[in-house]
Structure 1
Amino acid sequence: MAFIFGVKKLMEDVGRAFTVLLPEDNTFHTQLSMYEYGVRTHDLVLQENVLQYLSWNCEFLINSPLWSTISFPMMDALLQRSDLIVKDEALLLEALERWIQDNGDEISSDQQVSLLNHIRFVLIPVDKLFEIQVSSKVLRQNHEKLYLTGLLRGFQFNALPFSKIRNQKDNMSSEYLPRIYTGDEWSVSINDTTVDYQYHHYYRYGQNNRFQTFSTPAHPSALYREQMVQWQAQVFFSAQECSNYGISCTSFPVARFYGYGNQNMYTSTIRYSNRLILTCKNENNIFHVQDFKNNIAVVSNNSSMDLPNPCPNDYSFRFVVRPEYI
């Protein structure tokens, strides 16, 4: 009614109210309806908020029955985003192919080309580039030249120094920017959000259950596959915990994520734009994503988050490494 009668202030209030509801439906029916409402009412803020939520929860959306019902405009908008969270780019390509198969003749050849152009072939792991040469059906058959061009760019990216590629490009497009890839090779989770101190010989220690170390390649390119960087991920829930590790905290929880060892070897060629993801454990619902400032991410309280926390006592932290060439 606000749209019908042109009551702009009420429309804005409705849009903000809708945004707050986004994390409450993990079936995605509500979010898709909100997006279509935003399109009809020309509410660009609501559209952006819904797209951001769907980007964060893209892998859950891919595995839902509603994946095949997404409209072409929404799919086109989603595939252009760098805040899209999936295991890897190959999964996104496979999901796109399935979506095209499910929608049949409703998706024109030009629309297929537009969507295929959004796939970042250069960021598909080289072993999966080799596999998809034979596994792809519809997209390769319908657009073989474009598909093979994408594969060639992917293999070049894995075989050549980035400086050589960059010097031959007038403008470096978004295809070289990583999305948020959560495959086990690039991320680690801390699932315990409780403070559980243990006592031993007159002193107490804690949070080993909120301390993780792991290694990743320095970069997804095959040139760096064997060059490993070590990472430490920590979550703190008190000033004392922070103090024990030499940092000062005034708000909680606090996530700390830093590389050590040989990470400094790559500072002239690789930048790490890492992300912290908060996810409901039992509902597969990502409701918060943020970057790290000086290796620290102070998690906002519920009132200041972009989206409310739908599982305040049952969520996990995922730390994601995002290497990109500079």
Structure 2
Amino acid sequence: MGVVDVDQPGWNLSPTVSGYGAGDITVTGSADALVGAAVCRSGQTTSLRCGEVTKTDQSVDYGSIVIDGLSYSSACSAGGDSGGAYVTATGGKAVGLHSGGGSATCTSGSGEKFTIFQPVTEALTRFGAALVTSTPQPGGITVSAVSPQTTVVGVSAEVTNSAEGGTPPYTWKATGLPTGLSIAPATGTISGTPTTTGTSNVTVTATDSAGKAGSTSFSWNITGGQGGTLTLAAPGNQTVYIGRPVTLPLRVTGGSAPYSFKATNLPGGLTIHPATGTVSGIPTTWGLRTSTVTVTDSTGRSSSAAVTWNVYF
């Protein structure tokens, strides 16, 4: 990443990200990218492409250099998109700068499609810079976008919602939730254990103290036990930092729900949720260690994977 002085005639700063015909996005501030957050990437080659954040705090080996602290998304890209902006799908929060991507571009059909980006908050801190922003429309309420959800019947699930604008506090409600799930009126967190398979169209609404409201919608697919070979996908090497929150969801295919999870030799400060398989917490001890994570399905079958943790100061 680098910085350029905007000191030439005709170089005008503006609080917008190009939507390339899909509507420019007004930047209202910055935010840290969280796993599962819906984001959009703007680039001169492939225009505006959206996806969700899949990894954070990753070390990426570009061959000639290794860069720490990068994040991944499921959006696509192509050569020439580097340096483009990443913003939240709603709310106009800047989250990153495009760094690289998978072997497949937005139009090619082979290889992996993913993107890698530099967190914008780190760049701002490094250079002592500030974003050019615009004030959100007074009184308007924006509920953050939620990516389509897929979970398994009988396995606990949780989605955290957030909003901005209006006059807090907010009161939350949701329609179309799968059976077994509910939303907390005071926090907007959806949680529970789904009991029925099928796809639902969910709408989440936040209402402020003045009665103004904002909403977002997304699909939620509840699948049954897949059967077949139970497999816990290896999450790969993880680079994390002392004092910085970690969230690592585990991916399971096959077997029969519900699943239970356990882990051995996790770095100090990290734990695994026994029902969802999410490893989370704040690391407290630096060093290199290898953990073993294990999933067991309802029939007693198990599958394990190793995770190597690089914990830095």
Higher relative contact order (CA 8 A, sep 6+): 1
TM-score > 0.5, shorter chain as reference = no
TM-score normalised by length of structure 1: 0.27
Structure ranking higher in strand proportion: 2
Q: Which is richer in helix? A: 1
TM-score by length of 2: 0.28
> Max radius of gyration: which structure?
1
